[in-house]
A and B are shown apart, each in its own frame.
Chain A
Amino acid sequence: MNEIILFKYGEIALKGLNKNVFEDILLRNIRWRMRDLGPMRLRKAQSTIYLEPENPDAFDFDEALDRASKIFGVAAVSRALVVEKSMEAICAAAPKYLEPLLSGVQTFKVETRRSDKRFPLKSPGISAETGGALLDAFPHLKVDVHEPDVIVNVEIRDFAAYIHAGSIPGAGGMPVSSSGRALLLISGGLDSPVAAYMMAKRGLALSAIHFQSPPYTSERALQKVETLCEKLTPYTGSIRFYCVPFTELQEAIREHCPEELFTVIMRRMMMRVATLVAAREDIRALVTGESLAQVASQTLDALYCTDNSTDLVVLRPLIGMDKTEIIKIAYQIDTYETSILPYEDCCTVFTPRHPRTKPKLHFIEKAEASFDFEPLIRQAAENTTVKTIH
Chain B
Amino acid sequence: MEIYLDNCATTRVCDEAAAACLRAMTAEYGNPSSLHRKGLEAESILTETRKTIGQMLSCPPECIRFTASATESNNLAILGSAAARPHGGKTIVITAVEHSSVENAAAALEKKGYTIRRVHPRPDGHFAVEDFLNAVDDDTLLVSFMMVNNEIGTVLPYETLIPALRRKAPKVLLHMDAVQGFTKYPVSMKRLDLDFLTFSGHKLYAPKGIGVLYIKKGTRLFPLAYGGGQEQGLRPGTEAVELVAALKEALLLCQRDGRLWETKYRALNQRLREGAAALPRVSVNSPEDGAPNIVNLSVLGIRSEIMLHFLEEKGIYVSSGSACSKGAKSPALAAFGLTPERIDSALRISFSRETTEDEVDALLAALEDGIRRLRPVIEKNGKELP
Using a CB–CB distance below 8 Å, which chain A residues touch chain B? 214-219, 251, 254-262, 342, 344, 352, 363, 366-367, 370
Cβ–Cβ contact B377 & A255, under 8 A: yes
Does B386 interact with chain A (Cβ within 8 Å)? Answer: yes
Q: Which listed segment binds A: B23-31, B162-170, B209-217, B307-315?
A: B307-315
Using a CB–CB distance below 8 Å, which chain B residues touch chain A? 305-310, 312-313, 326-328, 370, 374, 377, 380-386
The residue from A215, A256, A261 contacting B312, defined by CB atoms under 8 A apart? A215
The residue from A218, A254, A256, A258 contacting B305, defined by CB atoms under 8 A apart? A218
Assembly CA distance A255 to B382 (angstroms): 6
Query: Chain A's nearest CB lies how many Å from the CB of B300?
Result: 17
Cβ–Cβ contact A216 & B382, under 8 A: no
Q: List 16 A-B contacts (CB under 8 A).
A: A215-B309, A215-B310, A215-B313, A216-B306, A218-B305, A254-B377, A255-B380, A258-B386, A259-B381, A261-B385, A344-B305, A352-B382, A366-B386, A367-B383, A370-B383, A370-B386
Cβ–Cβ contact B382 & A258, under 8 A: yes
Cβ–Cβ contact A214 & B309, under 8 A: yes
Query: Chain A's nearest CB lies how many Å from the CB of B312?
Result: 7
> Which residue of chain A has its CB nearest to the CB of B386?
A366
Residues from chain B with a CB closer than 8 A to the CB of A216 are 306, 309
9 more A-B contacts (CB under 8 A) besides A258-B382, A260-B382?
A215-B306, A215-B307, A215-B312, A215-B370, A217-B309, A218-B305, A255-B382, A257-B382, A367-B385
Residues from chain A with a CB closer than 8 A to the CB of B386 are 258, 363, 366-367, 370
Residues from chain B with a CB closer than 8 A to the CB of A256 are 382-383
Residues from chain B with a CB closer than 8 A to the CB of A261 are 382, 385
Residues from chain A with a CB closer than 8 A to the CB of B380 are 254-255
Cβ–Cβ contact B385 & A214, under 8 A: no
Assembly CA distance A363 to B386 (angstroms): 7
Assembly CA distance A214 to B313 (angstroms): 8
Assembly CA distance A179 to B384 (angstroms): 45
Cβ–Cβ contact B307 & A251, under 8 A: no
Residues from chain A with a CB closer than 8 A to the CB of B310 are 215
| Best-buried of B312, B370, B381, B386 by chain A (most CB within 10 Å) | B386
Residues from chain B with a CB closer than 8 A to the CB of A219 are 309, 312
Cβ–Cβ contact A258 & B385, under 8 A: yes
Assembly CA distance A342 to B327 (angstroms): 9
Given the known interface contacts A214-B309, A218-B309, A344-B305, the answer about A258 and B384 at a Cβ–Cβ threshold of 8 Å is yes
Query: Chain A's nearest CB lies how many Å from the CB of B303?
Result: 9
Query: Chain B's nearest CB lies how many Å from the CB of A222?
Result: 11
Assembly CA distance A367 to B384 (angstroms): 9
Query: Chain A's nearest CB lies how many Å from the CB of B32?
Result: 39
Assembly CA distance A344 to B326 (angstroms): 12
Given the known interface contacts A251-B377, A254-B377, A342-B327, the answer about A259 and B309 at a Cβ–Cβ threshold of 8 Å is no
Assembly CA distance A373 to B307 (angstroms): 26
Residues from chain A with a CB closer than 8 A to the CB of B382 are 254-262, 352
Residues from chain A with a CB closer than 8 A to the CB of B309 are 214-219
Residues from chain A with a CB closer than 8 A to the CB of B305 are 218, 344
> Which residue of chain A has its CB nearest to the CB of B311?
A215
> Which residue of chain B has its CB nearest to the CB of A260?
B385
Residues from chain A with a CB closer than 8 A to the CB of B370 are 215
Residues from chain B with a CB closer than 8 A to the CB of A363 are 385-386
Residues from chain A with a CB closer than 8 A to the CB of B313 are 214-215
Query: Chain B's nearest CB lies how many Å from the CB of A251?
Result: 5
Query: Chain A's nearest CB lies how many Å from the CB of B292?
Result: 29
Residues from chain B with a CB closer than 8 A to the CB of A259 are 381-382
Assembly CA distance A24 to B139 (angstroms): 76
Query: Chain A's nearest CB lies how many Å from the CB of B381?
Result: 5
Cβ–Cβ contact A257 & B383, under 8 A: yes
> Which residue of chain B has its CB nearest to the CB of A369?
B386
Residues from chain A with a CB closer than 8 A to the CB of B307 are 215
Query: Chain B's nearest CB lies how many Å from the CB of A355?
Result: 11
Across chains A and B, which 10 residue pairs bring their CB atoms closest together, nearest first? A215-B309, A259-B382, A215-B310, A366-B386, A258-B385, A258-B382, A251-B377, A258-B383, A259-B381, A218-B309
Query: Chain B's nearest CB lies how many Å from the CB of A139?
Result: 46
Assembly CA distance A366 to B310 (angstroms): 33
> Which residue of chain A has its CB nearest to the CB of B370?
A215
> Which residue of chain A has its CB nearest to the CB of B384?
A258
Residues from chain A with a CB closer than 8 A to the CB of B385 are 258, 260-261, 363, 367
Query: Chain A's nearest CB lies how many Å from the CB of B315?
Result: 13
Assembly CA distance A220 to B374 (angstroms): 20
Assembly CA distance A363 to B312 (angstroms): 38
Assembly CA distance A147 to B326 (angstroms): 53
Query: Chain A's nearest CB lies how many Å from the CB of B126?
Result: 33
> Which residue of chain B has its CB nearest to the CB of A262?
B382
Assembly CA distance A89 to B377 (angstroms): 78
| Best-buried of B306, B310, B313, B326 by chain A (most CB within 10 Å) | B306
